[in-house]
Amino acid sequence: MSIRGAMALARAIKTWAIASGRTYATPDDVRALAVPVLAHRLIVDPESDFEGVTPEQIVEGILADIEPPVYRAA
């Protein structure tokens, strides 16, 4: 993923949060937007493509491997 891809995701998340009436983003915002914003930016290598791996599956797999942050009251 390029820095432009990361910036596009950040802008989309901020816009999504504002459209939802919030001034903050949530992990659910990231999960909702990561695939549509990032998947088309990935190029699957020919071997993986032959095995049927899609860019969407790659992004979903990364999201599944990352634990969202936990809020701890001070």
Residue 53 burial class via C-beta count within 10 angstroms: exposed 0-12, middle 13-18, buried 19 and up: middle
What is the average pLDDT across 52-67? 90
pLDDT score at 74: 67
Tell me the H-state helices in 20-54: 27-38, 46-50
The per-residue pLDDT for range 1-40, each reduced to its tens digit, is 789 989 999 999 999 999 999 999 999 999 999 999 999 8
User: What pTM did the predictor assign?
Assistant: 0.76
